[in-house]
């Protein structure tokens, strides 16, 4: 997959743990791990909206395209 999700860096910058982050965006910690580890095949816009709201960022701050 060429699209990478860069949540780790933002969580560290904001001092948030995975459990706190998962609760704030309304998904399970296991699903946060799926996103963080690059195993996600899709993401709902409502989840992306919640991530951006909680981390106070833009989608481009957490999504990056890389050439395989």
Domain-embedded: residue 14: yes
Domain-embedded: residue 39: yes
Which residues sit opposite 65 in a β-bridge? 3
| pLDDT for res 67 | 85
| pLDDT for res 68 | 74
Domain-embedded: residue 56: yes
Q: By residue range, what is the domain housing residue 37?
A: 3-60
pTM for the full predicted model: 0.88
Residue 9: which CATH number? 1.10.260.40
Q: Helices marked H in 1-68 — which ranges?
A: 7-14, 18-25, 29-36, 45-55, 59-62
Domain-embedded: residue 30: yes
Q: Which residues of the chain have pLDDT under 70?
A: 1
Domain-embedded: residue 67: no
Structural domains of the chain, count: 1
């Amino acid at each position: 997959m060429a699209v990478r999700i860069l949540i780790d860096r933002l969580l560290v910058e904001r001092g948030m743990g995975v459990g706190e982050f998962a609760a704030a965006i309304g998904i399970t910690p296991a699903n946060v791990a799926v996103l963080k580890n690059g195993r996600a095949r899709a993401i709902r816009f409502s989840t992306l909206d919640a991530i951006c709201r909680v981390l106070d960022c833009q989608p481009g701050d957490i999504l990056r395209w890389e050439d395989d």
